[in-house]
Amino acid sequence: MRLELGKIFIKDVQFGSKTEVKDGILYVNKEELLKEVGGDERLKSIDVDIVHPGEKVRIIPVKDVIEPRVKAEGNGGIFPGFISKVDTVGSGRTHVLKGAAVVTTGKIVGFQEGIIDMSGEGAKYTPFSKTHNIVFICEPVDNLMQHEHEQAVRMVGLKAASYLGKAGKNVEPDEVKVYETKPLLEQVKEYPNLPKVVYVYMLQSQGLLHDTYVYGVDAKKIIPTFIYPTEVFDGAIVSGNCVSACDKNPTYVHMNHPIIEDLYERHGKDYNFIGCVITNENVYLADKERSSNYTAKLVEFLGADAAIISEEGFGNPDADLVMNCYKIEEKGIKTVLVTDEYAGRDGSSQSLADSTPKGNAVVTAGNANEVIVLPPMDKVIGHVEAADIIAGGFAGSLRPDGSIEAEIQVITGATSEVGFGYLSAKSY
């Protein structure tokens, strides 16, 4: 598949009489936008606000972050299975409003949601302090079941990103990047002397409120399978989970997947990137064994010399990560693991819940238990009292002056397990 990504750089977002992109500014008709995302009887109110990098604004709790995109040419549409028909995506041309993001918040859905600070110490840990954010405050009706609440808020975000993305359909992009992965036999022949690399893309799917969707299907219901990397850029994979904010992959991250982008960057130079194997993360041992067996079999079948494996979440998914590593290595295929750590506040505890001697090449995204103090903000969008409840917070996290003491686990994207963050290691 060959996909052109046309990036339209957004330097500002403002409310206006018409939704359009003009001179790098995204103007949004607020009334029309709210009408587009409204109509769900499970939500008693929806409001929208706009925040910019550097403002003293806190968004809490954050449900999802989504980038506005639109199919400009080719088959299918953005978010197949939700907004568009279930056509295969990943080819043609897609336009991106780069620098803009849709953020959903409101009453907490699950306790593992996050914080985005647009300035201050917390802003250093989240990539979404650098985007111009169109924030939707979605308040549910009383006594709504959590899975219904999550679905309602998820659809608001997807509808909004689709609506806003259309403003860029006929705009000439500032930059166009081309990504292409050919059918397997053609791809192998193109660079026969380079090592063949597969990306094993683990999707969070551990139960209620731990859902990720592939073409609209809950990943719990899939067996490991092959996917063209370009399909991901068109929203074929959508977040629906409420796992810890620091290492959750919001939909925005799936659409801008840094491992896939980096693999493409070095494709044809250092190695032959032949595609992605998507697999789920399971609760029961039998399901973990089944999925890891199937994943290793697929990686071997594709003829890979090496595989990069990333997980989403921690604890229980560490077992899936280690099983995938062990079984792929047993087939003589080298692996590199990408994860984060929950090593205790002093960093001296065991980093992962499982391990294997074969996991001898590991990239860490940081220790989620590190404690930080987030300064008070001039404005809070959402429900600041959630600071005492969300994972990484504790009773008393929210201080009387509005500051928050918590683990960086509370910050959206702080220890991204696909590298969509800012933490790094330095040698002295």
Token pair of 360 as six digits: 């001898």
Q: Do 177 and 256 contact (CB within 8 A), yes or no? A: no
Helix (H) or strand (E) holding 314: none
Tell me whether residue 242 is one of the annotated catalytic residues.
yes
User: Alpha helix (H) ranges present in 124-250?
Assistant: 146-165, 184-190, 229-233
Q: Which of 138, 242, 246, 325 is catalytic?
A: 242
What pairing do the DSSP bridges indicate for beta strands 25-28 and 12-15? parallel
For residue 232, which of 206, 209, 251 has the smallest C-alpha distance?
251
**Can you spell out the DSSP letters for 104-151?**
EEES-SSS--EEEESSSGGGGT-GGGSSEEEEEEEEEPTT--HHHHHH
Helix (H) or strand (E) holding 389: none
Q: Which residues lie below 8 Å from residue 81, measured CB to CB, with a gap of 6+?
A: 213, 214, 215, 216, 217
Helix (H) or strand (E) holding 203: strand 196-203
Catalytic residues: 242
